[in-house]
């Protein structure tokens, strides 16, 4: 029994876990940057050959991404990058809005929100820099970081855990929506205003602005798609 739990066994388990984590990270990045487009089918054997690993770590990685919502397993067909339908987008943002408004209401009841406001403003500064570089992938990551800071500050492990289950799908949405902001300052201005309101004393104004901030994600997505196709127009989140 002692031998079964020896050093060699532990090293093997850690190595396998690390490898599947690396593979899932690579696949996740490829989904978010569009290398694996929406609707694409992922083949376990081809991925294993591409990464130079056995099929085991790839299988574990795919299962992890299915649990995150970045992949979808269809019986007798395979594993696919899910299409982002208007209904999916509305549902994801419905849950996000609900959780974030509950979190912000609790946050605004805290006696001191100075540290949070400072963190949020620091994130906005990074967002400004990434927008100037037209680094939309990094901008999307910072957008999510901004909102996650507010939720986590509410101090509810269950609320944070529920929000975390949406994280991967939210990132996918943000990567698709980000194009709707190109060419305008709406993204930065809205987050600056939210950071200021969180640091202030008007809870209802902060809640109202957060609710308005979510806007109509489907409309934003359609405008983002139009911009990608070379059409004109701007959008707000």
Q: For residue 63, is pLDDT > 70?
A: yes
CA distance 63 to 27: 12
Q: What is the pLDDT of residue 178?
A: 66
pLDDT of residue 138: 85
CA distances from 175 to 114, 205, 207 (A): 30, 28, 25
May I ask the CATH architecture of the domain 7-80?
Orthogonal Bundle (1.10)
Q: CA-to-CA distance for 210 and 196, rounded, in angstroms?
A: 12
What class has domain 86-228? mainly alpha
Phi–psi pair at 78, nearest 5 degrees = 135, -160
- Tens digits of residue pLDDT in 129-162: 998 888 877 888 899 999 999 999 999 999 999 9
Q: What are the tens digits of pLDDT across the range 87-144? A: 888 898 899 999 999 999 999 999 999 999 999 999 999 999 998 888 877 888 899 9
**What's the pLDDT score for residue 234?**
40
Which residues belong to CATH 1.20.120.530 in the chain?
Answer: 86-228
pLDDT of residue 126: 96
Residues contacting residue 208 through CB under 8 Å, at least 6 positions apart:
none
- Which helix (DSSP H) or strand (DSSP E) does residue 74 occupy? strand 72-74
pLDDT tens per residue across span 32-57: 777 888 889 999 999 999 999 999 99
CATH 1.10.10.10 range(s) for the chain read: 7-80
DSSP code of residue 6 = S
Per-residue model confidence as pLDDT tens digits over 172-184? 877 777 655 554 5
* pLDDT exceeds cutoff 50 at 169: yes
CA–CA distance, 75 with 87 (Å, rounded to integer):
22
């Amino acid at each position: 029994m002692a031998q079964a739990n020896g050093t060699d066994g532990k090293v093997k388990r850690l190595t396998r876990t690390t490898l599947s984590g690396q593979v899932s990270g690579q696949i996740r990045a490829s989904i978010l940057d569009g290398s694996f487009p929406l609707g694409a089918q992922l083949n376990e054997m081809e991925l294993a050959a591409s990464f130079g690993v056995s099929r085991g770590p790839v299988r574990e990685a795919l299962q992890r991404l299915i649990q995150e919502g970045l992949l979808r397993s269809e019986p007798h067909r395979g594993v696919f990058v899910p299409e982002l339908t208007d209904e999916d987008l509305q549902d994801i943002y419905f849950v996000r809005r609900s959780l974030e408004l509950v979190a912000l209401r609790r946050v605004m009841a805290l006696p001191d929100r100075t540290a949070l406001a400072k963190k949020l403003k620091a994130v906005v500064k990074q967002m400004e820099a990434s927008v100037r570089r037209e680094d939309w992938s990094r901008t999307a990551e910072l957008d999510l970081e901004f909102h996650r800071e507010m939720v986590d500050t509410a101090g509810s492990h269950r609320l944070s855990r529920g929000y975390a289950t949406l994280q991967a799908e939210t990132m996918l949405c943000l990567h698709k929506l980000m194009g709707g902001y190109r060419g305008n300052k709406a993204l930065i201005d809205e987050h600056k205003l939210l950071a200021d309101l969180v640091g202030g004393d008007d809870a209802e104004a902060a809640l109202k602005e957060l609710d308005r901030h979510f806007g109509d994600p489907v409309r934003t997505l359609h405008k983002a798609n139009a911009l990608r196709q070379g059409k004109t127009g701007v959008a707000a989140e």
